[in-house]
Amino acid sequence: MFGAIEEKLKNSEKIVFVTGAGISQESGIPTFRGKEGLWRKYDPMKLATIDAFYDDPKLVWEWYEDRRRNMLAAEPNPGHKAIAELEEYTKVVVLTQNIDGFHQKAGSTNVLELHGSIIRIKCTVCDFKDEIHSRFEKFPPRCKCGEILRPDVVWFGEALPQDVWSEAITHANSCDVMIIVGTSLAVSPANTLPIYAKQNNALLIEVNPESTIMSADMDLSLKITSANALPHLVSIFKRLT
Ligand code: NAD
């Protein structure tokens, strides 16, 4: 299955992964879209926009707290672990849309969180930012400055952190291989990263049981789950090196 790409993988100096909610699905974390996606049960515009937050901060906070607890109770799966293990063989950069921290927990050392992190908070007004250290007594929690705190995640319609995004483009522009895992490629601008890689003639591989809007543009589209596909990739590297 991986035969055609072995040569390119063998000579690659940098592999960039672009990951989305699907890579954490086998850790028990629901995706947004696709089968069993969260958006089939909730309306994102009521929960993941700044307008929704100001309309009902308590509701949005309770939803995030529920998700945060589920994420903290879950563990990275063989897909995350395979990406971390790949660092033994080549330079690896992970550009993730996920907010769950599983790549770092699995041992990846070069992770850019494009959409922030569910374990961090920030003030809606001042520049206070921190990790969440304990349970909140009341929702919405308040900053020392008196204003409302919010999860440090990027909501629909918000800009990505500029420094993180420009570093992500630099990596996408300069990789030999980009492996796109578990993302519907429906969310902009993260969904433009494969285009930057293509401009550098990188090999594009997609791992997703379902087709996406870019499946036809891939050099290889593996329609299997990431916990199945990614450990194979590491075994190829073990054999090649
Ligand atoms: P998405 O929900 O739009 O798409 C998920 C994709 O993963 C689908 O294409 C689906 O076919 C695929 N998929 C499902 N199970 C898979 C598996 N086992 N292996 C491989 N692929 C699988 O996700 P997205 O593109 O990341 O959407 C972007 C937004 O979702 C981001 O803003 C992100 O913050 C948010 N999100 C993150 C988490 C998380 O941190 N774990 C969870 C839900 C949503």
pLDDT at 38 over 70: no
Which residues, listed in sequence order, are joined to residue 113 by a DSSP beta bridge?
96
The amino acid that residue 55 corresponds to is: D
Backbone angles phi, psi at 204, to 5 degrees: -110, 125
Domain-wise residue ranges, the chain: 1-28+75-115+159-241, 30-73+118-153
Ligand 1 center–CA 140 separation, angstroms: 27
CATH topology (fold) of 1-28+75-115+159-241: Rossmann fold (3.40.50)
For residue range 110-132, list pLDDT tens digits in order: 999 999 999 999 999 999 999 99
| Candidate from 19, 49, 183, 206 with most ligand 1 atoms within 8 A of CB, to mutate | 183
**Tokens (6 digits) for 182:** 């578990």
Q: Which residues line ligand 1 (CB under 6 A)?
A: 20-26, 29, 31-34, 37, 97-100, 115, 181-184, 186-187, 207-210, 212, 225-226
CATH topology (fold) of 30-73+118-153: SIR2/SIRT2 'Small Domain' (3.30.1600)
Return the sign of the alpha-carbon dihedral for residues 48, 54, 58, 59. Answer: negative
For residue range 172-202, list pLDDT tens digits in order: 999 999 999 999 999 999 999 999 999 999 9
Residue 66: is it exposed, middle or buried by C-beta count within 10 angstroms (0-12/13-18/19+)? exposed
- Supply the pTM of this predicted model: 0.94
For residue range 195-240, list pLDDT tens digits in order: 999 999 999 999 999 999 999 999 999 999 999 999 998 898 888 8
| Candidate from 25, 26, 27, 31 with most ligand 1 atoms within 8 A of CB, to mutate | 31
pLDDT at 147 over 80: yes
Query: Which residues are identified as catalytic?
Result: 115
The residue with tokens 């909610």 is: 21
